[in-house]
């Protein structure tokens, strides 16, 4: 049997040996190209002193790359029991550096992990749960959170929505919340052909660095309500889409220097925060 640079079998052989067919119900698409997984791992550098949280490692392609690139420790959360034997083989090859947690990432208590600093999240997120996972991490309290950075892979269209700027068609609730709490940027694209099975869409890797003090400060719950109302009917003027939050919304908007006839995509992140604060008062 051939071996990879890390002394373990090629990922394709691992998948065949453990009969790991990707499950659509779990949003699984396996990334087999070690050059690509190592590029993602390097985006999370420096790794030597870091504890890395990985969600949805599957057969361990990115897990191996993180360890090869020198991560001090990787904590991998995997709900698919079929993948655990493959991950255990990596664990044996890197004694003391890989912790495997069998659990559902969506309901997991991340604060309870009590990871040492510096800790960061590096993951090829399952398509089916990527957005709700990110929203959960962005809502973490207290802020700044326990992680100093997130390097995450999403479907390309989702990644573009996260890093979108005001005035663009992709700008929406996700961009406002992510941009309020983090510095966000798209790092590089990953073509669909790199995955097994091949999805119908390309992917992209983004970086999110938590801001120590998101500005202006506001209540995250109220910010969610405001953006949900504004972008829920994004073709409407704000005086119409926000009316359900306050029957006197026009004077509130005018008091903040926001045109009642403007639409949601025209507002800066700070405008939404100021709106959240005014409506909460």
**What is the C-alpha to C-alpha distance for residues 127 and 24, in angstroms, rounded to an integer?**
9
Whether 15 contacts 159, CB under 8 Å: no
Count Cβ atoms within 10 A of the Cβ of residue 241 and give its class: 0-12 exposed, 13-18 middle, 19 or more buried.
Answer: buried
HSE-up of residue 93 (Cα within 13 Å, Cβ side)? 19
Residue spans of alpha helices (H) in 52-190: 61-68, 84-93, 130-138, 156-162, 173-181
> CB under 8 Å, gap of 24 or more: what pairs does 239-242 form?
242/275
Q: Does 6 count as an annotated binding residue?
A: no
Q: Does 29 count as an annotated binding residue?
A: yes
**Torsion sign over Cα 197, 184, 228, 172:** negative
- Best CA proximity match to 180, nearest among 276, 281, 45: 276
Q: Does 280 count as an annotated binding residue?
A: no
Joined tokens for residue 48 = 């030597």
**What is the C-alpha to C-alpha distance for residues 273 and 234, in angstroms, rounded to an integer?**
17
Q: Does 31 count as an annotated binding residue?
A: yes
Q: Does 48 count as an annotated binding residue?
A: no
Q: Detail the residues annotated as belonging to a binding site.
A: 29, 31, 56, 78, 104, 124
Q: Detail the residues annotated as belonging to a binding site for S-adenosyl-L-methionine.
A: 29, 31, 56, 78, 104, 124
């Amino acid at each position: 049997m051939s071996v990879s640079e890390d002394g373990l079998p090629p990922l394709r052989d691992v998948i065949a040996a453990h009969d790991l067919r990707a499950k659509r119900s779990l949003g699984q698409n396996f990334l087999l190209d070690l050059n690509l997984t190592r590029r993602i791992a390097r985006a999370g550098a420096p790794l030597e002193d870091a504890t890395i949280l990985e969600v949805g490692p599957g057969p361990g392609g990115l897990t191996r790359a993180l360890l090869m690139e020198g991560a001090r420790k990787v904590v991998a959360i995997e709900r698919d029991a079929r993948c655990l034997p493959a991950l255990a083989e990596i664990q044996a090859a890197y004694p003391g550096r890989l912790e495997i947690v069998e659990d559902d990432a969506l309901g997991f208590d991340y604060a309870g992990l009590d990871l040492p600093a510096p800790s960061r999240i590096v993951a090829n997120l399952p398509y089916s749960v990527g957005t709700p996972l990110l929203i959960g991490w962005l809502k973490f309290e207290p802020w700044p959170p326990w992680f100093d950075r997130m390097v995450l892979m999403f479907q390309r269209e989702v990644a573009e929505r996260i890093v979108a700027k005001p005035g663009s068609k992709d700008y929406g609730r996700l961009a406002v919340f992510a941009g309020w709490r983090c510095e966000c940027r798209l790092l590089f694209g990953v073509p669909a052909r790199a995955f097994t099975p091949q999805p119908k869409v390309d992917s992209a890797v983004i970086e999110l660095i938590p801001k120590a003090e998101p500005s202006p400060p506001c209540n995250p719950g109220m910010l969610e309500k405001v953006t949900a109302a504004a972008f829920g009917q994004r073709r409407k003027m704000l005086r119409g889409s926000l009316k359900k939050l306050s029957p006197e919304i026009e004077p509130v908007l005018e008091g903040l220097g926001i045109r009642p006839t403007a639409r949601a995509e025209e507002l800066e992140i700070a405008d939404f925060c100021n709106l959240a604060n005014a409506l909460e008062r």
